[in-house]
Chain A
Amino acid sequence: MSPPAESKPMVFVIDDDASMRAALSSLLASVGLRVTAYASATEFLQAKLPNCPTCLVLDVRLPGLSGLDFQAELAKANIDIPIVFMTGHGDIPMTVRAMKAGAVEFLPKPFRDQDMLDAVQIGIERDRGRRAKASVAAKLRASFNSLTAREQTILGMVTAGLMNKQIAGDLGVSEITVKVHRGNVMRKMGAKTLAELVRMADALGIRDPD
């Protein structure tokens, strides 16, 4: 059973050396990864990113723009993609800088093929995890948005620890009405227990801080 095409991971290779691009593409393809190779960072930025876990394999030395500067530029543009660096020089300060900025791995050329595959795999997993987290958060936000204004208020009060009676008093409605709204909130948010609802409120950042 294979995952749908869209969620199948994709590896991007940026290297100005054509031979290196071909070799890397072939290596990654040999373990069943989808690969797209670019000769420059500019080319990569012009392409549309697919909606699937990705990883970027990058030479530190790029024509016109250093790999590290490119890394910083991506971060600035809010493009969150794991990067595996390659370099022809074992330059320690460069390595430290890249790792600090969140690189997955820094591989000196020539690297062991397995090291590269492992690094790429870690990158893909990291991206997959990030994407999953992002999708959960998006789902939660969608559920919250489906609540009426009154239900959202009551969600806040309930998760802040108020009793139905207190909520009824504060809002000037009957306790029965509060119970009905509360039931709707639990159902719409897909929460089975109050504790679960509190966690959701935390994730959404809407808990009344008192």
Chain B
Amino acid sequence: MRRHISGDRPVKARRRKPAPKRRVVIKAARRRLSSEPRLKTKVARLSRELHEVAEQQQATSEVLRLISGSSGDLQPVFSNILASAIRLCDAHNGVVNRWDGEALQLVAALNMPPAFVELRKQSPYGRRQHSASGRMLATRKPVHIADLAADKAYRERNPPTVAAVELGGVRTMLAVPMLKENELIGSFSIGRTEMRPFTDKQIEIVQNFAAQAVVAVENARLLHELRETLQQQTATSKVLQVIASSPGDLEPVFETVLDNATRLCDAEFGNIYRWDGEALYLVAWHNTPSAFAAYRRSGPFHPSATSLIGRMVKTKTVAHVVDAADNPDYTERRDPSLVAAVELGGVRTYLGIPMLQEDNLIGAITVFRQEVRPFTDKQIALLTSFAHQASIAIENMRLLTELRQQTDALGRSVAELRRERSNKLMNLEAMTASISHEVRQPLASIASNGGAALRFIAHEPPNLEEVRAALNRMVSDCHRAGGIFDNIRALFGRGDRDREPIDVNELARGVLNDLQGDFNDRGISAAAELLADLPPINGHRGQLQEVLINLARNAIEAMEAVADDNRILKVTTVRHGAKKIALAVEDSGSGIDAKQAANIFDPFVTTKPQGMGLGLALCRMIIERHAGQLSTSPAQPRGSIFRVVLPVGGVT
């Protein structure tokens, strides 16, 4: 059992018993009813009323059925309501008007002659008229006129009143406003061709029908809005879908935007332009007449400053031209692009919306009609949203491109860093290898001489002559090994402190001069094509000299295999851009095959029998230390070119 802490007492259920008194009353009433004849009339009246109510309810339910069944088409609903109202109120004719904010527009009429309908369509009811409807508009209350012919408005020959009386034959009339939350949206009028006022009940019925008409109007509006919203949402989602599915391609996006924009804006065709700061360029079009599209595509579209598109570009606002053919830019043929639109595209009404990106114009979308019919505010808003979507797609594309470029650039710089790092490692390896090779030579010689000396001393008798000779060679080999380290230190040891301005031409001439003997021995003709007034570079003379000697020796060796009369070595100097110079050593030798060219600068690839014997790898290292580049390419008709590019003034 529940305990009632609050202390309330449990409620006891009461059983109802029929009150004996009530039964007695009903019985008495029956007796009176059957006995009194005037009650019979009352019963008849009541049953008639009951019938009326039933009829009214039937009519109402019919109207409701129509409202719910209509697919937004109000005409049959109005006609039906009107017919029911006329029938139930025992009227002869009637009209339904819609209020458009300015006047009452006839939307349905029953039992009215065509002449009346025609006249009403031509002269709608204004707010300020003294007619019955005018009063209804002013008061927003039903207006009931027993004799319209006697009304002041008729006497003053108010045209709609005169039309109602003289064309519609209306005498008694009732006008009821259609109110939606106190806002006038139309009116409901019924009339009689005789003078017989409507009862209060009939007025109530008409008011009821008017209310139903309001519901129908509201329903239709909601349905229409829902459909429109749905259509726009579908279109928007389609465009967004295309934007998402084609990130690198604007064409399908523009195509979808235009397809939906022209359809939803009820336009014949549409164009999308890109703006480059000076002119518009047609980038996409949908159903555009080919002659017009071809004209727009033939070149940039410079809209004249006075034209509406020109203003659109300038002010970044909507351009809405109701009749292009009526525009002085066309009639006076001031704007050739407008003339083209009218004459090639058959354009009459058109709408242009700027495409913006953070307030910057990036293009425009235009839709065209080949008839004069202005676009609604809703359509303008719709096209604005499409313009926005197209801007998003363009921005997306731009970001994507930027991202790709950055990724590429990043990839390139990573590759560059890797190459640089591996070059450094390789240079170090080359230097080590080169030094080790240089030193191994005298060491091997010393060891062999030592071995020889030991053996000659062990001869019986010892061959001292040979021992002495071997020891002498060992001493000179030791000095040779020491010399190698001196050279290395001379080249690299003191680093960059020894840099000085160097005339590369003079350096080249010096090296060619030093090697003249080698050239003569091998039948090589050496030529120098040196650019006068070559600016000096800042560098290490010994190192650069070594590079040049190496390149020249390479060239000499490369030409050993070719016939004597074809051995040509050419050294050229040129300017390489404003801040660099280039020195090239070209030979007419056998050339470097492509496979070897790839790693010609690696250690072990070349042989250096004399001098310091630095390899190409070391040459490149020296040049890179001078902030330059060393590269090779095939010469014509054969041979190789080694090119050294060095910055003027050098690194500091």
Check B476 for interface membership: any CB of A closer than 8 A.
Answer: yes
Q: Which residues of A contact B610 (CB under 8 A)?
A: 16
Residue numbers in A under 8 Å from B473 (CB-CB): 19, 22-23, 26
Cα distance A108–B439 in the bound complex, in angstroms: 12
CA distance A89 to B444 in the complex (A): 12
A110–B466 touching, CB < 8 Å: no
Let me know if B433 is at the binding interface, CB within 8 A.
Answer: yes
When the two chains form their complex, are residues A26 and B448 in contact, meaning their CB atoms are under 8 A apart?
yes
Contacts of A17 in B (CB 8 A): 441, 445, 609
List the A side residues contacting B604 at CB < 8 Å.
89, 91
Say whether A27 contacts B448, CB under 8 Å: yes
Residue numbers in A under 8 Å from B449 (CB-CB): 22-23, 26-27
User: A residues within 8 A CB of B443?
Assistant: 109-110
CB neighbours of A30 from chain B (8 A): 451-453, 455-456, 459, 463, 466
Inter-chain CA distance A168–B452, complex, in Å, is: 68
Q: Measured between alpha carbons, how far is A66 from B608 in the docked complex, in Å?
A: 11
CA distance A114 to B466 in the complex (A): 18
A1-54 with Cβ < 8 A to chain B:
16-17, 19-20, 22-24, 26-27, 29-31
Residue B310 CB within 8 A of the other chain? no
A151–B305 CA distance with the chains assembled, in angstroms:
120
The yes or no answer to B607 lying at the interface (CB within 8 A) is yes
Expressed in whole angstroms, the minimum distance between the Cβ of A155 and any Cβ of chain B is 51
- A114 and B451 contact, Cβ closer than 8 Å, known pairs A17-B441, A19-B476: yes
Q: Which residues of B contact A16 (CB under 8 A)?
A: 609-610
Q: A29-B466, A110-B446 are in contact. Are A19 and B451 (CB under 8 A)?
A: no
A99 interface hit (Cβ, 8 Å): no
- B447 contacts A88, CB within 8 Å? no
- From residue B310, how far is it (CB to closest CB) to chain A in Å? 75
Q: How far is the CA of A105 from the CA of B96 in the complex (A)?
A: 119
Interface-located stretch among A56-64, A71-79, A138-146: A56-64
Contacts of B607 in A (CB 8 A): 61-63, 66
Give the residue name and chain of the A residue nearest to B606 (CB): A61
Q: Shortest beta-carbon distance, A48 to chain B, in Å?
A: 24
- 0/1 interface trace, chain A 75-88, chain B, CB 8 Å (1 if under): 00000000000101
Q: Verify A64–B560 contact, CB threshold 8 A.
A: yes
Chain B 436-476 interface 0/1 with A at a Cβ cutoff of 8 Å (1 = within): 11101111111111111111100100010010011001001
Indicate whether A116 reaches chain B with its CB closer than 8 angstroms. yes
Q: Which residue of B lies closest to A117 (CB)?
A: B451
Q: A20–B433 contact, CB under 8 A?
A: no
| A91-B455 Cα distance, complex, nearest whole Å | 31
A113 within 8 A of B: yes
* Residues in A neighbouring B450, C-beta threshold 8 A: 113
Q: How far in angstroms is the closest Cβ of chain B from A44?
A: 16
Q: Is B477 an interface residue, CB under 8 A from the partner?
A: yes
Chain A residues within 8 Å of chain B by Cβ, number: 30
User: Does B62 interact with chain A (Cβ within 8 Å)?
Assistant: no
A110–B451 CA distance with the chains assembled, in angstroms: 12
Residue B624 interfacial (CB < 8 Å): no
A116 contact set on B, CB distance < 8 A: 448, 451
Q: Is B323 located at the chain interface by the 8 A CB criterion?
A: no
Say yes or no: A109 contacts B441, CB within 8 Å: yes
**Interface digits, A112-129 against B, CB 8 Å rule (1 contact, 0 not)?**
111011000000000000
| Chain B minimum-CB-distance residue to A28 | B452
Interface size on B, residues (CB 8 A): 37
Interface residues of B in 522-563 (CB under 8 A from A): 557, 560-561
Is there a chain A Cβ closer than 8 Å to B238's Cβ? no
Distance to closest chain A CB from B61 (angstroms): 103
| Bound-state Cα–Cα, A98 to B20, Å | 137
Given contacts A19-B473, A66-B607, A89-B437, contact A27 B444 (CB under 8 A): no
Chain B residues with CB below 8 A from A66, complex form: 607
Q: Is B120 an interface residue (CB 8 A)?
A: no
- Beyond A16-B609, A23-B448, A89-B437, is A31–B560 a contact (Cβ under 8 Å)? no
The answer to whether B480 has its CB under 8 Å from any CB of chain A is yes
Is the CB–CB distance between A110 and B440 below 8 Å? yes
- Cβ–Cβ contact B609 & A63, under 8 A: yes
CB distance from B422 to the nearest CB of A (A): 20
Q: How far is the CA of A113 from the CA of B477 in the complex (A)?
A: 16
Please give me the residue from chain A that is nearest to B466 by CB atom. Answer: A26
Residue in A closest to B450 when the chains form the complex, CB atoms: A113
Q: Known contacts A23-B445, A27-B449; is A109 also within 8 Å of B440 by CB? A: yes
Max chain A C-beta neighbours (<10 A), residue from B433, B441, B450, B604: B441
Q: How far is the CB of B613 from chain A (nearest CB, A)?
A: 9
Q: With a 10 A CB-CB cut-off, give which of A29, A31, A88 has the most chain B CB atoms.
A: A88
Q: Which of B456, B473, B476, B607 has the most CB of A within 10 A?
A: B607
Q: How far is the CA of A88 from the CA of B437 in the complex (A)?
A: 5
Q: Determine how close the nearest CB of chain A comes to the CB of B123; give it in whole angstroms.
A: 108
- CB atoms of B452 and A88 under 8 A apart: no
Asked if B447 contacts A20 (CB within 8 A), the reply is no
In the complex formed, the residue of B with least CB distance to A20 is: B445
Nearest-CB residue, chain A, relative to B448: A23
What are the interface flags for B403-419 relative to A under an 8 Å C-beta threshold, 1 for contact and 0 otherwise? 00000000000000000
Contacts of B440 in A (CB 8 A): 88, 108-110
Give the distance in Å from the alpha carbon of A88 to the alpha carbon of B445 in the complex. 12
| Residues of chain B within 8 A of A88, CB atoms compared | 436-438, 440-441, 444
- Cα A114 to Cα B451 in complex, Å, equals 8
- The answer to whether B448 and A61 touch across the interface, beta carbons within 8 angstroms, is no
Interface pair B557/A27, CB less than 8 Å apart: no
- List of B residues within 8 angstroms of A19 by Cβ: 441-442, 445, 473, 476-477, 480
Whether the Cβ atoms of B448 and A113 lie closer than 8 Å is yes
Least distance between B449 CB and chain A CB atoms (Å): 4
CB distance from A10 to the nearest CB of B (A): 18
Contact A27 B451 (CB under 8 A): yes
Chain B neighbourhood of A117, CB < 8 A: 451
Complex contacts, A62 vs chain B, CB 8 Å: 607, 609
Contact indicator A61/B609 (Cβ below 8 Å): yes
Distance in Å: Cβ of A113 to nearest Cβ of chain B: 2
Q: Measuring CB to CB, which residues of chain B are less than 8 angstroms from any residue of chain A? A: 433, 436-438, 440-456, 459, 463, 466, 469-470, 473, 476-477, 480, 557, 560-561, 604, 607, 609-610
6 pairs from A and B in contact (CB 8 Å cutoff): A19-B441, A19-B473, A26-B449, A27-B449, A27-B455, A108-B440
- What are the 4 tightest A-B residue pairs by CB atom distance, in nearest-first order? A113-B451, A30-B455, A109-B444, A23-B448
Known: A19-B476, A23-B444, A61-B607. 19 other contacts (CB 8 A): A17-B609, A19-B477, A20-B445, A20-B448, A22-B449, A23-B452, A24-B448, A26-B456, A26-B469, A30-B451, A64-B560, A89-B604, A91-B604, A110-B443, A110-B448, A111-B447, A113-B447, A113-B452, A116-B448
